[in-house]
Structure 1
Amino acid sequence: MSLSGFSAPWWFLLLFVVAAVAVGYVLAQRARRRRTMRFTNLELLDRIAPRSQGWPRHVPAALIIVSLLLLTVGLAGPTAEQKVPRNRATVMLVVDVSLSMDATDVKPSRIKAAQDAATQFAQGLTPGINLGLVSFAGTATVLVAPTTQRQSVVSAIDNLKLAQSTATGEGIYAALQSIQGFSAVVGGADGPPPARIVLMSDGKQTVPDDLYAPRGAFTAAQEARKQQVPISTISFGTSHGTVEIDGREVPVDVDDGSLQEVARLSDGQFYQAGSAEQLKEVYADLGEQIGYEMKEADASRPWVLLGTLALVAAAGTSLFVGQRLP
């Protein structure tokens, strides 16, 4: 265990008491020895006095001192950094459902692999996370407002439908609006819960053409930064994907650059996933980041437990060695 501090260090003053007990025990043993040496008839003393048990007779006292040391540390309130589930946070999952998601360069298809991975992500999030879902193609739709009920999100993921065009900026704006509405309701004295957008897309924005347009992806990412909502972007697909549109084979290469810039502009993180397995790994990593946080937590329980066990052991050995409690 790596301790990082103590919440009540003044309890360490008890160590002086523990030290006094140890010194008192040593002095008592020496006084006992001196009294024994004063006995004039040592031969008679040897017959009437109980035979000394040697060093084992000191074991109960040593265990009591160890117990007092351990319990003192426990009372001082040791703390350690521990990974604990978040009890309040908002996450909007934003999924690209443009026609390029029908490409089969990722088996069985990009959209099917995305649905499977997103479902695992939703089901694996810790209970305290409020999760919402937005889908976007030419427009964006909030399918599920932030909620701790995972089944509604899973059902919406299963029913995602593909459509034309890619309006990435609209997807981000829809997620921000949903976060704002939810935060206004649940803010409370501690303020709104921290929020994050997880954006998964396989292609470059097509509506509008300019990524810095008022409703463009880069402008939306800058707005997310102002609202302190980082965007974790996942670039999903390969450089050799194709789909059939109106009888023509159309290449749908994945666009890493724009999604990387969206993450940078929003103070978020960028991920690449070229297969279904990689996408699941990315979502699993995000689930750990989002669902848990490192906090200074109480670490006194092991010390109190060990101190209590040492005290019980002291009582047991005292009864076994000296037929009495210490």
Structure 2
Amino acid sequence: MIFKNPQIFLLFIPLILSVFYVSKNYHYRFFRTNFPLEINPAYSIKIFCVENLPFYLRFMVLVLLIIALARPEKVLKGELPPTEGIDIMLTIDTSLSMTANDINPSRIEAAKNAAKNFVLKRKNDRIGVVVFGGVAYLSCPLTLDHDAVNAFIDRIQAGMTKSDGTAIGDAILVATNHIKKSKAKSKIIILLTDGRSNTGIVQDPVTAAKLTSEFSIKIYTIGTASKGPAQIYTGNPLQPYITIEDDLNDEELTKIADITGGKFYRATSSQELDNIYSEIDKLEKTKFDVKYHTEVNDLYNIFLIPAIILAFCIIILEKTYIMTVP
């Protein structure tokens, strides 16, 4: 607790002197000066209390008023939360080939787990989600509600776009369209796929990347597939698995990243995928200047209100009980 007007406490000097002076007179009336001290029988304790109570109540009122006039304050200091971070659009391939089990437990489940862990690390960043297969669309808009982002990621399933193919160019443009107007200092797209672009309105993803670079948006590309054939579970008892070949276009994904100032990664296991997201997390750290705020709360009311209540009590006592004492 601090006081805005500490000089007001100088009023205690005349107040204390007056109390000593008055108390001395009352003491003389109540006690005889010879020893041993004897109470004056003509001056009862009841009368003493009646005569002195208003005085001491007034003294308490004055003490409380002086403290209130000194303006006691409580100062609270704390750090302001960051007001601006990075805007990140997670762009995830949901084509049927993402069910391949060459990455445990499957490509798409490993991608979802790594993405969710990444989201939890980006406390001050807005994050959104775009999914794509044969078409691309926004699944979750940019938001600071990371629980909501991870809830959308949990619902991602292979084949959810209900359109065959891998529209990487369209996915880049959809993500760009939802992040380009952002006022964040840094904007990035993390594109994860296991194949090459083979469909969509913009079938050349490099062209889409060039457009994205005009908005100062980086694209980090992640190829999620082992080098070699992989199996996909079909659910057909006659042919439970089919084998697919490695169709990842490393060269194209590298160009996309290079054009926008990002980086290409190849993940062949769940651990590698986690490591890639951790590296991106380190590369795209936002430095915040720590800002502090000071909040001042006035506390004079906790002294002023009791002073007013005591003043009313004095008036009531003087008008009722004290006046009736013989």
Normalising by the smaller structure, the TM-score range is 0.5 to 0.7
Partner of 1:136: 132
Give the C-alpha shift of residue 144 in structure 1. 0.7
Residue 179 of structure 2 is aligned to residue 179 of structure 1: yes
> 2-side partners of 1:98 and 1:198: how far apart?
17
Partner of 2:277: 283
Q: Which runs of 5+ in 1 are unaligned?
A: 1-84, 299-326
Give the C-alpha shift of residue 147 in structure 1. 0.6
Give the C-alpha shift of residue 296 in structure 1. 8.3
Partner of 2:95: 98
Question: After superposition, where does 1:278-317 map in structure 2 within 5 Å?
Answer: 278-293=272-287
How many corresponding residue pairs?
201
Q: Sort the Cα spacing of 1:297 and 1:237 in 2 relative to 1 into closer, same or farther, 3 A.
A: same
Percent pairwise identity:
28
Residue 226 of structure 2 is aligned to residue 265 of structure 1: no
Partner of 2:168: 168
Question: After superposition, where does 1:1-326 map in structure 2 within 5 Å?
Answer: 87-126=84-123, 128-163=124-159, 164-181=164-181, 183=182, 187=183, 192-208=184-200, 214-240=202-228, 241-243=230-232, 247=239, 248-293=242-287
Look up the equivalent residue of 1:263 and give its one-letter code. Answer: A
SS in 1 for 2:196: coil
SS in 1 for 2:180: helix
Give the C-alpha shift of residue 255 in structure 1. 2.8
Higher helix share: 1
> 2-side partners of 1:276 and 1:140: how far apart?
25
Give the C-alpha shift of residue 86 in structure 1. 8.6
Runs of 4+ aligned residues of structure 1 deviating over 6 Å after TM superposition are 295-298
Give the C-alpha shift of residue 297 in structure 1. 8.2
8 Å CA contact 1:239, 1:253 repeated in 2: no
Give the C-alpha shift of residue 207 in structure 1. 0.7
How big is each residue's C-alpha offset from its partner over 1:103-142, in whole Å with a ceiling of 9 and x where there is no partner?
111111111111111110111113x211000011001111
> 1-side partners of 2:149 and 2:203: how far apart?
26
Give the C-alpha shift of residue 89 in structure 1. 1.8
> 1-side partners of 2:202 and 2:118: how far apart?
31
Higher Cα Rg, which structure: 2
Partner of 1:40: none
Give the C-alpha shift of residue 198 in structure 1. 0.8
8 Å CA contact 2:114, 2:273 repeated in 1: yes
How big is each residue's C-alpha offset from its partner over 1:256-279, in whole Å with a ceiling of 9 and x where there is no partner?
222111111222111121110010
How big is each residue's C-alpha offset from its partner over 1:64-109, in whole Å with a ceiling of 9 and x where there is no partner?
xxxxxxxxxxxxxxxxxxxxx8932211010111111111111111
How big is each residue's C-alpha offset from its partner over 1:267-311, in whole Å with a ceiling of 9 and x where there is no partner?
211112111001001111111222334x7889xxxxxxxxxxxxx
